[in-house]
Amino acid sequence: MSRHTTDVQESVQEYVPSLPLPADHVLNSGAVLFPGAFDQHGCPLIVFPVEGQGKLFSELSTAEVVDFINYFLCLHNKRQEKESLVSVVADLRHASLPATRFIAETLLLLELHKRTVHSVYIIQPKKKDVVKLLLKLLAPARCHAASFKKVFLKEISELSTYIDRSQLTASLGGYLIYCHQSWVAFIKEIDAFVQEFLSVVQRLPSCISTLQALSRLPLPTTFRELQWFCSTNEAKFQQLRRELGLDELLRHCESVVEKLRHPEKELCYQEMAGTALFTHTTFDMLQNHSRITAAVEKVELLWQQAFSQARLQLQVFQLREDALQVTEQIEILLQEKLQPYKIEIAKDAAKAAMLVSHFEASIHTPAMALVRRAEDVIHTLAEILPFDGQSRERWALDLERLKEKLCSAVHFIFQTLRAVSNYHHYFNKANSWYSLVLCENFLQELLSGVNVDGVPTQQQRRNWGSVPAWRHKLSTFLKKNPPPHMEELVHLAHLSNVIPDDAVHQAGKQMSQRCMTLRKLLISSGPVAVGHLQQALQWQYELLWGRQLNQSSADSATNRTAKDVQDRPSESELSKCESGKEAASPLGTSPSTAVSGMVSAEGKPPSLSSFDSGF
């Protein structure tokens, strides 16, 4: 126990003098001063100022003045490696007989038990009877035990021979700035701190003994009892800490240190700054602050050590309660919402977005909140318990297992619904561009660039060095309707593969491949591959033919059984889908026949009669 209080106790022993602070009427009288000045021997000066000599015999006793001198000499010697003596300065030029007798008897009383005074500097009285009394009182026969040096001076100016003027006040011929009221206020404030310091140190051993007794109490085995045990003893500790007063002492110390660091903020500190007393006090207070801070930390550490096991056990109990609650909520969510849930593959983007939003709000968000709570419990347990301790907690393993099960189920459904929603987004974007391209006549214009055997045609030779008008039109079209990025088309194909629906898989993969082919045809600056062009023309033919059938069905809905659904669309209807004047292909012929005929007209082998359907 003493190990925790040694530093603070040593600090008090070093700082607090063995005598009590002199009474207020002695300090406030100003009849005897300890200004923090020194003579040429390095002895601190005691001054009996002229203006206070009348109070010596009327308000004070010689014993009180002796106690005053001994107190401040003791305070001074606490900070010295070697004990010092005092030197006394007394201006007795106009002193009365009672004042002279009082000062002389005080000097003799100081020397009664041990040597205290090194030198006495006396400005001689002008009255003969006072001189006679002084010599009589200080005569060797009367002061045989006194060994101090007596220096009698005729004028104030002679003091500077023995004491530097910087150590003398203005009334003694020097320029030392001294304000007695500030000195008294400073002394009282520091002494108030010291007394509080001493009181705390005296209570500290009892406080530590109480803490040690509390730490030996047996721990309850149930959660409620342990909770009550910890809260009760926490309240006892806080009460004990308040009664000790260590925190208040630290705040008081910090306040004094702040004033010592910035003396200009308070008058008494400002007027004491630069004196030896101020310097020594500053050094002591900084040391005290360090020791008090260490004591506060040690008391807190002792409390933490005393109840660390109880707090740990309480925390484990609390985590267990939280884990059981989260486990119950996860099981309810799995049974009531996830197990009955059937994944619906939406047929359009609006439905897909609605399914994602509803699942996220009703299941995903609450599930992720439970997962985060479970992870908090698991991570906290891992921080406070070693691995072997965790292995004994069955509830933690159950919580981990349920958390993983919930994550897996929720993420699978959520990712599937989001994949369907993303699929419709990319599919609609690609399909829109696909339809726009096939309603134009750019594919027919590309026939002029078909090259089967690698030998340029006559028409190609004539067009070298010039950009056809349809190329400008194509460029404008692509700027207004940019093709889907390759990354989007690849992602569309990937989404088609992961969605568990055959129709979606087939449609998405087909749209991705067709848009890639059209993209390659339209952005190509040279001749295009015949096979790709054949496929594209076949897709265009199918698109336009399908639209014509849909239009015809709508117009003859009342006579659907009598109409031949195999009729071919007219040129005028097809031309409505074309932005140019030329038709996509002769409506009475298939795209393969049209391509074959156009290639043959340029001298190409008619080998393109069979077309891939594009599926």
Mind spelling out the 3-state secondary structure of 196-240? Answer: HHHHHHHHHHHHHHHHHHHHCCCCCCCHHHHHHHHHHHHHHHHHH
Most confident of 371-375, 478-482, 505-509: 371-375
Most confident of 156-165, 427-436, 455-464, 541-550: 156-165
Residue 533 lies in a domain: yes
Cβ(377)–Cβ(323) under 8 Å?
A: yes
User: Which pLDDT band holds residue 142 (cuts at 50, 70, 90)?
Assistant: low
Domain limits for position 476: 426-601
pTM of the model: 0.56
H and E: helices and strands count for the chain = 24, 4
| DSSP assignment letter at 176 | B
pLDDT (0 to 100) of residue 580: 38
- Assess whether 372 and 282 both reside in one domain: no
177, 201, 234: which is the final residue of a domain? 177
User: Which pLDDT band holds residue 463 (cuts at 50, 70, 90)?
Assistant: low
Residue 11 lies in a domain: no
List residues bridging with 120 in a β-sheet: 88, 150
Provide the number of structural domains found in the chain: 4
- Assess whether 39 and 148 both reside in one domain: yes
pLDDT (0 to 100) of residue 552: 66
306, 340, 373: which is the final residue of a domain? 306
Q: Is the pLDDT of residue 276 over 90?
A: no
271, 306, 341: which is the final residue of a domain? 306
- Assess whether 243 and 168 both reside in one domain: no
Q: Is the pLDDT of residue 585 over 70?
A: no
Residue 13 lies in a domain: no
CATH of the domain at 104: 3.40.525.10
Q: How many angstroms separate the CA atoms of 314 and 304, rounded?
A: 14
User: Which pLDDT band holds residue 451 (cuts at 50, 70, 90)?
Assistant: low
Q: What's the token pair of residue 498?
A: 């992961």
Helix (H) or strand (E) holding 184: helix 180-215
- Check the CA dihedral 251-257-259-262 and report its sign: negative
pLDDT (0 to 100) of residue 530: 76
Tally of CB atoms within 10 A around 588: 9
- Assess whether 138 and 223 both reside in one domain: no
Residue 151 lies in a domain: yes
Residue 209 lies in a domain: yes
* CA-based max dimension of the chain: 159
| DSSP assignment letter at 568 | P
pLDDT (0 to 100) of residue 608: 35
- 3 state DSSP class of 318: helix
Cβ(51)–Cβ(114) under 8 Å?
A: no
Q: Which residues of 315-351 are buried (b: 16+ CB within 10 A; e: fewer)?
A: bbeebbebbeebbebbeebbeebbeeeeeebbeebee
Most confident of 135-149, 283-297, 388-402, 447-461: 283-297
- Assess whether 437 and 583 both reside in one domain: yes
Dihedral (C-alpha) 101, 103, 107, 113: value to the nearest 10 degrees? 80
Residue 24 lies in a domain: no
- Assess whether 329 and 282 both reside in one domain: no
- Assess whether 459 and 589 both reside in one domain: yes
Give the mean pLDDT of 138-150: 68
- Assess whether 596 and 451 both reside in one domain: yes
Q: Is the pLDDT of residue 15 over 60?
A: no
Residue 7 lies in a domain: no
CATH of the domain at 262: 1.20.58
List residues bridging with 33 in a β-sheet: 47
Q: How many angstroms separate the CA atoms of 324 and 330, rounded?
A: 10
Residue 526 lies in a domain: yes
Give the mean pLDDT of 460-476: 71
- Assess whether 550 and 528 both reside in one domain: yes
Helix (H) or strand (E) holding 86: strand 86-91
- Assess whether 138 and 216 both reside in one domain: no
Cβ(522)–Cβ(437) under 8 Å?
A: yes
User: Residues in the chain, how many?
Assistant: 615
Q: How many angstroms separate the CA atoms of 318 and 224, rounded?
A: 10
In the block, residue with structure tokens 């985590």? 319
Q: How many angstroms separate the CA atoms of 269 and 286, rounded?
A: 16
For 552-580, the pLDDT digits (tens) are 666 665 455 444 434 444 444 444 444 43
Q: How many angstroms separate the CA atoms of 240 and 150, rounded?
A: 57
- Assess whether 515 and 380 both reside in one domain: no
User: Which pLDDT band holds residue 141 (cuts at 50, 70, 90)?
Assistant: low
Higher pLDDT among residues 325 and 580, named by residue: 325
- Assess whether 453 and 582 both reside in one domain: yes
